[in-house]
Amino acid sequence: MKFPASLEQKFKQREADNALRKLSLPNDLIDFASNDYIGFAKNETIFQQSHQLLLNKNIKENGATGSRLLSGNHALYVDAEEYISNFHKSESALIFNSGYDANVGFFSSVPQRNDIILYDELCHASIRDGIQMSNAKSYKFAHNDLGNLETIIKKHQPTTDNQQPTTIYIATESVFSMDGDCPNLNELTTLSEKYNCYLIIDEAHALGVFGENGEGLIQSLGLQDKVFARIMTFGKGLGCHGAAILGSGKLKSYLVNFSRSFVYTTALSPHSVATILQSYKFLSDEKEALEKLKSNIVFFNQEKMRLGLKPIFVYSKSAIQCAIIPGNEKVKSIASQLQQKGFDIKPILSPTVPEGQERLRICLHSYNSENEISNLLELLATFVF
């Protein structure tokens, strides 16, 4: 079958860069690759409780049957959004089908023409894609550099009393998915308030990891009332699927009316929403897994120091630990050697990350043992030194 020459050329270039992506099947290697930080994705209790909830409510539908504005707004949505908003101390919560949908839906609809979006240069693709769909102007700031951010904010302040004030939105992540590092959120909220900006924080990799009950980094710092919108994604620490945007009741109503990724998509099935609700309820009770994850993060960092590996790792106190190994070919080779030794480690290649910043992305979990962590890092040391 014919295939466009321009697309064929892109394939050839990707192959030449040793960066062609392929789908792989699950394996039985020791998991240091998935985002299932506290093991909820494979938790049988959550699975059984979700099924029982559907039976108790006599819900037997396999699908939502339509968008939430037509026929898909089944009663479980009301229960789940109320529980989520209470859990996160937010005025409201609106569930989206995925974190990608939530970010695209927010940034494409909320910032208006003549508004300005300032975003961290390492923000997730879903944030950047939503910004591209927006009518607002956008500028990136240096990664976690609040001094650079303030300089850009000052450039867009009104210069005369008669000049119409510009609405400025600041977008960043509480835990960055490809580095595992965090901005100084206390200073960021202070800066946002100083210049009357609207702060949006993606907490995809903080939910289930930070806080006494896994509530995320913003809430664990008591900053939830200083953030205009939080995006909580369920496909990582919560082990299921979907996302919610937390904010005011007025923001929720606005998104229901104007967010295209919400309005024009079939809703999640009752089973998906039941799983979200039961996972949140289980989160409040599962202190042991949360503490074991935090302990593993501390132990991993101690082992990096012991083995002299600290210089090649991005600074991180999260569940995401990244060893910078420049070059697609080299990082793929080391990942392959680790896989052959029984460890599921994935290389992150350019262009997903900038050229020269290729890396091994190591995800820690509550179910990883200290022995597994030590063995992994000892092997890595033999391959890189």
DSSP class of residue 247? E
Lateral strand order in the sheet of 346-348: 320-324, 359-363, 346-348
The DSSP element (H or E) to which 272 belongs, if any, is helix 270-285
Model pLDDT, residue 175: 98
Domain 27-40+287-384 matching CATH 3.90.1150.10: the answer reads yes
Question: What pTM was estimated for this model as a whole?
Answer: 0.95
Model pLDDT, residue 115: 96
The DSSP element (H or E) to which 95 belongs, if any, is strand 92-96
- Closest Cα to residue 235, out of 100, 93, 35, 57? 35
**Measured between alpha carbons, how far is 380 from 324 in angstroms, rounded to an integer?**
12
DSSP per-residue codes, 300-361: HHHHHHHTT-GGGBPP--SSEEEEE--SHHHHHHHHHHHHHTTEE-EEE-TTTS-TT--EEE
Model pLDDT, residue 70: 96
Per domain, the residue ranges of the chain are: 27-40+287-384, 61-285
Model pLDDT, residue 157: 85
pLDDT per residue, tens digit, the chain (385 aa), is: 999 999 999 989 998 888 888 898 888 999 999 999 999 999 999 999 999 999 999 999 999 999 999 999 999 999 999 999 999 999 999 999 999 999 999 999 999 999 999 999 999 999 999 999 999 999 999 999 999 999 999 999 876 665 667 899 999 999 999 999 999 999 999 999 999 999 999 999 999 999 999 999 999 999 999 999 999 999 999 999 999 999 999 999 999 999 999 999 999 999 999 999 999 999 988 889 999 999 999 999 999 999 999 999 999 999 999 999 999 999 999 999 999 999 999 999 998 899 999 999 999 999 999 999 999 999 999 998 7
Residue with tokens 């968008």: 67
Model pLDDT, residue 238: 96
**Measured between alpha carbons, how far is 339 from 161 in angstroms, rounded to an integer?**
63
Model pLDDT, residue 21: 87
Model pLDDT, residue 162: 59
**Measured between alpha carbons, how far is 55 from 47 in angstroms, rounded to an integer?**
13
**Architecture label for domain 61-285:** 3-Layer(aba) Sandwich (3.40)
Model pLDDT, residue 160: 63
**Measured between alpha carbons, how far is 357 from 351 in angstroms, rounded to an integer?**
10
